[in-house]
Amino acid sequence: MLEPRHIAIIMDGNGRWATKRGLARTAGHKAGVEALRIVVNEAGKCGLQWLTLFAFSSENWSRPDSEVTELLMLLKLFIRRDLGVLNKNNVRVRIIGDRIHLEPEIRALLDEAENLTRANTGLNLVIAFNYGSRDEITRAMQSLGADIAAGRLDPRSISADLISAHLDTSGMPDPDLIIRTSGEMRLSNFLLWQAAYAEFLFVECLWPEFGAKEFKDAIASYKMRSRRFGGIDGTSCSTPACEASANNDEFLPVEMVKAAGIK
């Protein structure tokens, strides 16, 4: 049976959860942080290697100011309150998304979380904040374009691996399973490149209702899947990220990056 190495979650339905209870949407986001804590804890207990959570998209800035402010505040609170426990539990925190346009206080907190937990060897907790796939791919293309313009890169040497290595997720295995709560069935600009061979699970419950049982059920459902990566026996994918997933063996990003000749 398959063991997932990387699970990514679109935590959807906080607003509906709150509205159903006659509460402000921001109460739903607060309840969402509680669900997040439960799932991170459960992922650590299961021995999962990678967990990516979509906490704030590059499109979420279009929400009312009060809601955006609340989400920024919840991120700050989460890092201030939970970083010590995460570190004690050997969790390594990583952030993906555009950091440059975030306020300096948040940038400093994100840097602190990554730096403090850098040497940890347990669960890799990836928080997608101010993240959007199209933005991520655009930034990667700008970086490759700059290398070409400066004569550092021959366009003929651009490969899928080189593109992967320029994304925010460089060095991470592709997600094996993407879960979205709240019954919506779309990716909403989340890990579009990385999801090429991901399995999907759409569950009806709203994110604040998603707990340890739902997480374990999701893993059980993944284990029953048959992955073929475009081939017929699950070993036919030619990219290192796919092969690593298919073989469920160690992913060697540094070697890949060196082999691709990236500085």
Query: What are the catalytic residues?
Result: 12, 60
Cβ atoms of 16 and 93 closer than 8 Å: no
Least Cβ distance, residue 197 to ligand FPP (angstroms): 25
Those residues whose C-beta lies under 8 Å from the C-beta of residue 175, and which sit 6 or more positions away, are 6, 7, 8, 50, 52, 191, 194, 195, 198
Least Cβ distance, residue 137 to ligand FPP (angstroms): 21
Nearer to ligand FPP, 12 or 136 (CB): 12
3-state secondary structure at position 73? helix
C-alpha to C-alpha distances, 146 to 63, 139, 168, 262, nearest whole angstrom: 33, 11, 17, 13
Residue 31 tokens read as: 């309840």
Name which position in 43, 75, 96, 246 contacts ligand FPP (CB under 6 A): 75
Residue 218 tokens read as: 């999701």
Under the criterion CB under 6 A, does residue 109 sit at the interface with ligand FPP? no
C-alpha to C-alpha distances, 6 to 13, 41, 88, 100, 195, nearest whole angstrom: 22, 15, 21, 26, 11
User: Residue 201's closest CA among 226, 227, 183, 228?
Assistant: 183
Residue 9 tokens read as: 């979650």
Least Cβ distance, residue 19 to ligand FPP (angstroms): 7
> Which residue's CB comes closest to ligand FPP?
15
Nearer to ligand FPP, 73 or 137 (CB): 73
Under the criterion CB under 6 A, does residue 170 sit at the interface with ligand FPP? no
Name which position in 4, 5, 8, 14 contacts ligand FPP (CB under 6 A): 14
Whole-number Å distance between alpha carbons of 2 and 242: 14
User: Residue 42's closest CA among 255, 243, 210?
Assistant: 210
Under the criterion CB under 6 A, does residue 49 sit at the interface with ligand FPP? no
Under the criterion CB under 6 A, does residue 178 sit at the interface with ligand FPP? no
Name which position in 27, 71, 125, 257 contacts ligand FPP (CB under 6 A): 71
Under the criterion CB under 6 A, does residue 6 sit at the interface with ligand FPP? no
Least Cβ distance, residue 40 to ligand FPP (angstroms): 10
Residue keyed to tokens 């999962």? 48
Name which position in 51, 74, 179, 246 contacts ligand FPP (CB under 6 A): 74
Among the listed ranges 8-16, 102-110, 116-124, 152-160, the one in contact with ligand FPP (CB under 6 A) is: 8-16
Instruction: Give the footprint of ligand FPP on residues 204-243 (CB under 6 A).
Output: 207
C-alpha to C-alpha distances, 84 to 17, 112, 124, 256, nearest whole angstrom: 29, 11, 15, 33
Whole-number Å distance between alpha carbons of 36 and 212: 10
Nearer to ligand FPP, 29 or 94 (CB): 29
Least Cβ distance, residue 24 to ligand FPP (angstroms): 11
Name which position in 2, 8, 13, 51 contacts ligand FPP (CB under 6 A): 13
**Applying CB under 6 A, which residues contact ligand FPP?**
11-16, 29, 32-33, 36, 55, 60, 71, 74-75, 78, 182, 207
